[in-house]
Amino acid sequence: MKITFWGVRGSVGSGITKSDVEKKIRRTLELASPADILSPESIDRFMATLPFSLTGTYGGNTTCVEIRTDEDKLVIVDAGTGLRRLGMLLMQEARWRGQGEMTFFFTHSHWDHIQGLMFFPPILIPGNKVKIVSCFKDIEERLKYQQVRTHFPITFDEMAAEKTFDHFEEGQWYETDGLKVTSKMVKHPGGCYSYKFVQPDGKAFIFCSDAEFNMESMYNIEPYIEYFQEADILVFDTQYTFEESLQKIDWGHSSASIATDIAIKSNVKKLILFHHDPSYDDDKMDAVTMQALKYKDMMAPNHPLEIQTAFEGLTLTL
């Protein structure tokens, strides 16, 4: 499967500003020497030395992750504002103009995970088929409530694609699009479900956003360690720094250090830091990444765990 990140922020969108761009340009120019800009080749070499925060942006859209199976089936996890750009790209393919089929999995129904759905062109087109799956039995009512006339001019029922709903209980196995899927509830205000997607070859991708794990949780972590065990890719909520998480108990989010501890205990192969705080700029995200890498090297220097921070456009292959 291929996993692409279209929205990586939590809580609310946070676009980059003019002053943010100017800051990147100024810092880049300050780092450059005359020799760095003598030729296209020297510019390329110089660019390769710069941190991610200067050459790009982690992105400001809220949660949306695309899964493409080896058979080119489309599965989407959550429908934050990042879904809009995915929809625009899909519309370049003929099948999404009336013959496409896709499956959505919803972790929960907070606005940052559903508000992109009404701006997703394929769901507006007759002939397309959209299957919506969740461990919440009332997900249909939740999505419809978002689009009552007082909140949005088009109701959920007026979106013309054929929409069906499916539900499965936590811990059960659900099969769709050539994948086996199971779930586990995590601590978050109002409840939230993590989903584990398993390919026919046994490789597993776990999406665990909007999940609060703290030092107290670590004393009763075994059921989660079993769930995360040997995952090839684990996307994990790391909205706060460790210090911030101590001040925001019961806010429903975790830190990169806790995520790293859990990934090491579970023998996860690759940990993806996700659901970034909207107040964090790209410089802060670089710092969060470096702190997570240093923490891993300090706690388990010989463990093969890879750590990467999610950014819009990141694509992983499993």
Quote the distance between the C-alpha of residue 88 and its chain's center. Answer: 19
Give 219's pLDDT tier (boundaries 50, 70, 90): confident
Q: Letter for the amino acid at 16?
A: I
User: What mean pLDDT comes out for the span 311-317?
Assistant: 98
- Model pTM score: 0.96
Domains of the chain: 2-14+57-310 (3.60.15.10), 18-55 (no CATH)
What phi and psi values does residue 277 have, to the nearest 5 degrees?
Answer: -60, 135
CA distances from 170 to 3, 140, 193, 228 (A): 23, 18, 8, 15
User: What mean pLDDT comes out for the span 88-101?
Assistant: 97
Residue 137: predicted pLDDT: 97
Structure tokens at 209: 């956003």
- Tens of pLDDT, residues 4-55: 999 999 999 998 999 999 999 999 999 999 999 999 999 999 999 999 999 9
- Tens of pLDDT, residues 225-276: 999 999 999 999 999 988 888 888 899 999 999 999 999 999 999 999 999 9
